[in-house]
Amino acid sequence: MSKPFYITTAIAYPNGRPHMGHAYEAVTTDVIARFKRLDGFDVRFLTGTDEHGLKIDQAARAAGQEPKAYVDAMVEPFRALDDQLGINFDRFIRTTDTDHKALVQELWRRMAANGDMYLGRYEGWYSVRDEAYYDDAELVDAVDSAGNPVRLSPQATPVEWTVEESWFFRLSAYQDRLLALYDGQPDFIQPVSRFNEMRSFVAGGLSDLSVSRTSFSWGIPVPDGAETGPSHVMYVWLDALANYLTGAGGLDGQWWPADLHVVGKDVVRFHTVYWPAFLMSAGLPLPRAVFGHGFLLNRGEKMSKTLGNVVDPSEMATRFGVDRLRWFLCREIAFGDDGSYSDEAIIERTNADLANGIGNLAQRSLSMVAKNLGGIVPAAQGEGGDSEAALHASFTALTQAYFAAMNAWALHKALEALMGLVSAANGYFAENAPWALAKTDTARMAQVLRATMDATRRIVLLAQPFMPESTSRLLDQLGVAPDARDFSGFNTIVAAGTQLPAPEGVFPRLTPEPA
Ligand code: MSP
C-alpha cells in the first residue's frame, strides 16, 4: 500500500474573478501534489471556494442577486482556471455543499461538548474584506483617498465597529497548548519567518474568538437553534477551515490529518492559531504542516482594482502557454517570499530555461538520432570515459538536491538543481561534439547521443510536476513508455532499438511584443 499524502490549497472567496495570486497558489500546490504522486504517494488534493459570510453576502447584494445564485455563477471562472492550468485536484469543494454543512455543525457540537463555546456579546473591530476580528492595538490610523480618517487592519483593509450577540470560542484557554505545539513541532508553520511571527502573536496572549454572527443570515446555522435562538450563523472562518475535514471524508475521514495546507501569508494566522485550537477542542488530530507562501506582485506593485493592474491569469496562460506560466511562477519566485511578474520577465525566463535550455538539449540530440540513426535508439555501449563519469557524478548530486528541495517545498531550489542538470547535459553534448563524431567515429557518436538522451529523459521526468503537458510530449519523443514515467522508473532506460517519432520543437522562443 502506498503512503497517503493529503494536500490542500486555501479556498478562494468567489466575490470577483480569480487573479494571479489564486493561480499561483493553485499551481504551486498542484506541483507538490504531482511530485508526490510521481514519488509513489497516494495523493489526495483538495481545492475549492469559500462561499459564506458577510463579504459574499454584500457582494451578492451589490450585484442584485441572492447569495446562492451569485456564488453559483461566480465559482465557474475558478473551476475554468483550474481546468486550464492543469490543476489535478481530487475534489473541488464549495462550502455550500451539503456534506460540508452537516460536518461543520457536527464539529461545532463537538467543540461545544468540550465546554469551549459560550454566549456573549461581541463589541469590537471587524474587517469584512479579511472576514477577521482585530484588537485595537493591531490597527493603524490612516486617511482614505477622499481624505477621511479611517482605521486599517494589518492587511490595510478598513475595519468597522461591530456590536452583536455572539457565541464565543474559548481560544484564550489554548495559548499554552499552541505554544507547546509550535515548540514541539517547529515544522508546523513554514517558512521559519512565519513561524516566528505566529509564535510571538500567540505568546502575546489570546482573546476568546467570536464564532457566530447575528446581523446577517448567509452562513451555516449554529446547531441546536431552539436553545440558542435560531438566528446565529457561524463565523465564516470556522466554516471555511472545516472544509479540510469535509474534503478528508468527514470528521473521522480516511485522509485526515492533512500533510500540508498551502496558504498565502495573509491567512497564516487562521490556519496556525484558530484551526489547531478548533481541532484540539474537537479532539481531532492536527495537520502536519502549514506553508505560508508569499504574495505575487505585478511589476513590484500590489495588485488592486484601484491601481487597475489586476491581470487575468487565464489570459496570461493563453498568451504564454500554461507550462511556461507554471514554470515561471515556480522558478522565478522563491517559494515563501513575495515575487513579481511581468510579460518581459516571463519571456526572458522561459526563453533562457526552456527554449535555450531544456528544449535545445532535447532538439539537438533527438534531431541527430533522427538524422544519423534513422530515429532508432542506439544500445548503451560500455561505461564510457571521464566525460561520462563526470556527467554521472553531477547527475547524482543534482538529482539528490532536487529531491531534497522538493521534499522541503523549496520549489525554486528544485528548479535550480534541475537547470544545473540541463547545463551539465548541454555541456557534455558540446564537449563531445557528436556532430563531428558522425564523420569520424559513429560508434562513439551513438554512445554520446545515447548518454545525452538518457540525461534528457531524467531531466524531463523531474520537470513533469511543473510542466505536465510539454513533458508528456517530450517523453513521447524520447520513447519513454507511459508506465516508466514515475520516479520508480528513473533508472529504466529506453530499450535499444526503440523507433522514435520525428522530433518536434516543444518550446519555441518567444519574442517580446513591441511596446
Ligand atoms: N477564503 C479565504 C481562505 C479560506 S481557507 C480556509 C481567502 N480567500 S482569498 O480568495 O482571499 O485568497 C485565497 C488564497 O489566495 C489565500 O491563500 C491568499 O493568501 C492567496 N492570495 C490572495 N492574493 C494573493 C496574492 N496577491 N499573491 C499570492 N497569493 C495570494 O483568503
State phi, psi for 492 to the nearest 5 degrees.
-85, 105
Ligand 1 geometric centre to CA of 263 (Å): 7
pLDDT at 419: 98
Work out the number of other CB atoms within 10 angstroms of the CB of residue 150.
16
Residue 41 three-state SS: coil
Indicate which atom in ligand 1 lies nearest the CA of residue 50. Answer: 1
**Ligand 1 pocket, residues with Cβ under 6 angstroms:** 10-13, 21-22, 24-25, 50, 240-241, 243, 263-264, 266-267, 295-296, 303
Q: What is the pLDDT of residue 298?
A: 86
Q: Give distance in angstroms: CA of 479 to centre of ligand 1.
A: 41
> What is the rounded distance in angstroms from the CA atom of residue 12 to the CA atom of residue 53?
13
CA 306 centroid distance within chain: 27
Give, in degrees to the nearest 5, the angle at Cα 212 between 207 and 214: 125
Between the CA of 130 and the centroid of ligand 1 the distance, in Å, is 10
- What pLDDT was estimated at residue 271? 98
Residue bearing the CA closest to ligand 1, atom 6 = 241
- DSSP H or E segment with residue 70: helix 67-74
Q: pTM score, two decimals?
A: 0.96
Half-sphere exposure of 153 (CA within 13 A, CB side): 18
Nearest-atom index, ligand 1, CA of 22: 15
Choice from 263, 305, 330 to test ligand 1 binding pocket (greatest atom count within 8 A of CB): 263
Residue owning the nearest CA to atom 7 of ligand 1: 12
Residue with cell 513575495: 338
Q: Give the per-residue pLDDT at 514.
A: 65
Query: From CA 265, how far away is CA 337, in angstroms rounded?
Result: 9
* Ligand 1 atom 22: residue of nearest CA: 21
Strand partners of residue 339: 296
CA distance 458 to 91: 31
Residue 249's contacts (CB-CB under 8 Å, 6 or more residues apart) are: 255, 256
Please choose from 96, 266, 268 the residue to mutate so as to test ligand 1's pocket, defined by most ligand atoms within 8 A of CB: 266
Nearest CA to ligand 1 atom 13: 12
Which residues of the chain are under the pLDDT cut of 50?
none
Q: How far apart are CA 51 and CA 72, in angstroms?
A: 9
Point out the ligand 1 atom lying closest to the alpha carbon of residue 130.
31
Q: What is the pLDDT of residue 415?
A: 98
38 SS3 class: helix
pLDDT the model gives residue 380: 82
- Residue 267 alpha carbon to ligand 1 centre in Å: 7
What is the position in ligand 1's atom list of the atom closest to the CA of 10? 5
Of all atoms in ligand 1, which is nearest to the CA of residue 297? 26
Mutate to test the pocket of ligand 1, among 7, 15, 20, 22 (most ligand atoms within 8 A of CB): 22
Transcribe 83-136 into DSSP letters. HHTT---SEEEETTSHHHHHHHHHHHHHHHHTT-EEEEEEEEEEETTTTEEE-G
- pLDDT for residue 430: 97
Residues 326, 331: Cα–Cα separation, whole Å:
9
Q: Determine which helix (DSSP H) or strand (DSSP E) holds 5, and give its type and residue range.
A: strand 4-9
pLDDT computed for residue 228 by the predictor? 57
- In this prediction, residue 230 carries a pLDDT of 54
Looking at residue 377, its pLDDT comes to: 97
Question: Hey, which of 8, 50, 93, 338 would you mutate to test ligand 1's pocket, going by the most ligand atoms within 8 Å of its Cβ?
Answer: 50
C-alpha 21 – ligand 1 centre gap (Å): 7
Write down the pLDDT at residue 304: 72
